[in-house]
Amino acid sequence: MKENKKEVQVAHFTVDNQDISLWPRDPSPKKESPAALRTLPSVYVAIILLAVGLVVFFLAMIILYPQLLGRIDDVKISVDMLKGRAENTSVFLSSEIKKLRNKLEDSRTQVQMLNHSLGYSEVQMQLLSAMLKQDTAQLQALTSSWEELEALNAQIPMLKQDLKKTGELNAKVEQLRKDLQTLGASLAQQRYILEMASQDWKFFGGNFYYFSTMKKSWYSAEQFCTTQDSHLTSVTSATEQEFLYKVAKGVPYWIGLTKIGSSGSWHWVDGTLYIEKENVRFWIKGEPNDRGENERCVTLVKSSLMSWNDLTCDQEVQFICKKGPKPSETDQFHDGILLHSPSSSQTQHKGDSHPSNIHREFSP
Ligand code: BGC
Ligand code: CA
């Protein structure tokens, strides 16, 4: 019995909540058959203990199995949850990675674009720099011009004064020019008068008169006058009449009064309107008497206001031409001064001499 007890103590058990381990301690050395016989009760004990242990184990298992199953389920659920979370996390991470990749790609594209823009900007910077240089040069030129302008502005008051003086001088010059023009015209007129006077034309009351020395019929006399840009004289006032008879001194001269048409009304050959009541005072008393009904032209025959007599037009007597004060249109002026008078180059007619020539030919 003592040896059996020793055999039982050789076996070692360990039981915990979940696992059961059974292992022998150091294997006991094989004994001779009689020893085996001595260990048989120990084996029984061991078997019993083992059986008890198994029973306990199974009981424990029976008791603990549902709990274990529950825990296993919990663990499975937890694992599933973790799996789900992991999958979700994986999906999320994939999505995020994809987004990040896209962003990275975008960033690369943007970097490329920025690089391109940077290159373009550099070119523009160079252009702007060149333009800036140009602008700077222009600004300097403008500054210089501005300074010149300011200098000119400073001169404006002086220039205004000069302008005012110039205006006054211009007015004076204009006045002088007009005076000169008037003087020129006056000189031209005087020169013309002198020239006419040299040709025996007398100036009176603004008109020129030529008292012929030769005798002609009334028509020939008128024809001669027209060659001198004149007509046989008209008489338009007592003053003129007085001038004429005083120069004529009683010598008969044709004047430009004649009858026209069958009515025999009086008419001035130079176109002056004949006014009966104005001219009646110049007729000799009893005239016009139309002696022989053939007296259609008029002579100035007496040295008095009443000096007119009607006479036969064919009769040859001296005559008086008259023309206006102004030089004819063919006369040439320069700055109001007469340069040339047509009378000096007048066409000479057969039998009719220029007044100056006539004077030289016929005057005593
Ligand atoms: C008369 C004039 C007339 C003249 C003609 C004079 O005696 O008084 O009226 O015209 O003669 O020659
Ligand atoms: Ca008469």
Q: Which amino acid residue places its CA nearest to atom 12 of ligand 1?
A: 311
Q: Which amino acid residue places its CA nearest to atom 7 of ligand 1?
A: 291
The structure tokens listed for 11 are 């076996």
Closest CA to 303 of 252, 255, 363: 252
Pocket of ligand 1 (CB under 6 A): 287, 289, 291, 295, 309, 311
Ligand 1 atom with the smallest distance to the CA of 287 is 9
Assess whether the previous peptide bond of 29 is cis (omega < 30° from 0).
Answer: no
**Cα-atom radius of gyration of the chain, to the nearest Å?**
79
- pLDDT tens track for 64-118: 777 877 877 887 877 788 788 778 877 877 888 788 898 989 888 887 887 888 8
Contact between residue 248 and residue 320 where contact means Cβ atoms under 8 Å apart: yes
**Which of the following CATH numbers is that of domain 199-362: 3.40.50.620, 3.40.50.2020, 3.10.100.10, 3.10.129.10?**
3.10.100.10
Contact between residue 272 and residue 236 where contact means Cβ atoms under 8 Å apart: yes
Q: Is 200 left (phi over 0), alpha (psi -120 to 50) or beta?
A: left
Whole-model pTM: value is 0.51
- pLDDT tens track for 140-178: 988 888 888 888 888 888 878 888 998 898 899 899 899
SS3 274: coil
**Cα of 271 to ligand 2 centre, how many Å?**
23
Place 352 in a pLDDT band, splitting at 50, 70 and 90: very low
Residue type, 286: G
Q: Residue 253 forms beta bridges with which residues?
A: 300, 318
Instruction: Name the burial class of residue 242, with classes exposed (0-12), middle (13-18) and buried (19+) by CB atoms within 10 angstroms of its CB.
Output: middle
Residue type, 205: G
